Amino acid sequence: MTKIISFISQKGGVGKTTSTINFAMALALAGYKILLIDADPQGSLRFSANVEQSQYGSFELFTKPEVNLLEICQATQHENLSFILSNINTLEDTKIVENLVQDFSILQKRLDPVKKQGQFDFIVIDPPATMSNLTLNVMYATDYILFPLQCEVLAVKSLKHFLQFFKELREMMAPKSIKIAGIFLTMYDKQLPLHQKIATQVMQSLPEVFFHHIIPRDKAISESVAFGKSVLSYNLASPGAVAYMRLMKEFIHKFNLN
């Protein structure tokens, strides 16, 4: 059965969208069939991947259950990677979606038929960097929640706040069982003592969910975003691309998803 992965962060600028597209591309390059969903009204994923919007997108995903989800998907140049892009563009669109997603299970119900049919190995979702009802819908539908953590003090504080919020959220969403599959570090500079300290603290505090493969600060990652590509498409030999491939393999191995 298809598994759903989402990248969750309360704080913007930590590499959430960049990690979403690069992790999805790493899976696609490994031979898995991937559906990448942009559930963020800001639509950053479209710009990062340089994909043109089709007739349908995330608005229809949430509001038009009569439209077959596979009709909403867009093929890409990579045979293993398809998209559903964000097209929640207007205030009216936003109001309609926000009204629907007060029911946390809306997205899960929409994706369940696709999971059972198994056209994709993984559905990878990029939600907003807020704890909105839209993000809660994504979390409710998700099998594996991944948390990108920038190696900065404010990001660590955001993580602590999120973990407390997450405890309350699990009670709110019962009997649905949700859990954090893993936390991984982004924009890491091994030359900075602060980054080394944060990495050690997170690893020691949360060893059961800490991913050991870290995403480094790499100009190839920044350049790839500017060119509307994943770093794996831009420069597969770069430290950033290698790190995302290794992170993907660690994830697959950890949860026996081969």
pLDDT per 10-residue tile (average), the chain, 258 residues: 92 88 96 95 76 82 89 86 90 92 93 90 93 91 93 81 83 81 93 90 90 95 90 95 97 94
**For residue 48, what pLDDT is reported?**
66
Render pLDDT for 170-213 as a digit per residue (tens, 0 to 9).
888 877 788 899 999 999 998 999 899 889 988 998 899 999 99
DSSP assignment of 151-162 equals: SSHHHHHHHHHH
Cis bond upstream, residue 239 (ω within 30) = no
**For residue 121, what pLDDT is reported?**
96
Render pLDDT for 13-22 as a digit per residue (tens, 0 to 9).
888 999 999 9
Q: Which residue has the tokens 């893993």?
A: 182
Neighbours of 130 (CB within 10 A): 13
Q: Are 88 and 80 in contact (CB under 8 A)?
A: no
DSSP assignment of 43-98 equals: -HHHHHHT----S--HHHHHH-TTS-HHHH-EE-SSTTEEEE-----SHHHHHHHH
**For residue 49, what pLDDT is reported?**
66
Distances (CA, A) of 87 to 7, 45, 52, 131, 138: 19, 11, 11, 20, 16
Q: Nearest Cα to 129, choosing from 17, 25, 215?
A: 17
**For residue 50, what pLDDT is reported?**
67
| Geometric angle at alpha carbon 250, from 245 and 256, rounded to 5° | 125
* Confidence (pTM): 0.94
**For residue 29, what pLDDT is reported?**
96
**For residue 106, what pLDDT is reported?**
94
The sign one gets for the Cα dihedral 98, 100, 102, 106 is negative
Listed in sequence order, the residues at least 6 apart from 100 whose beta carbon sits closer than 8 Å to its beta carbon are 62, 63, 106
**For residue 70, what pLDDT is reported?**
85
Give CA torsion, residues 37, 215, 163, 61, to 10 deg: 0
**For residue 99, what pLDDT is reported?**
93
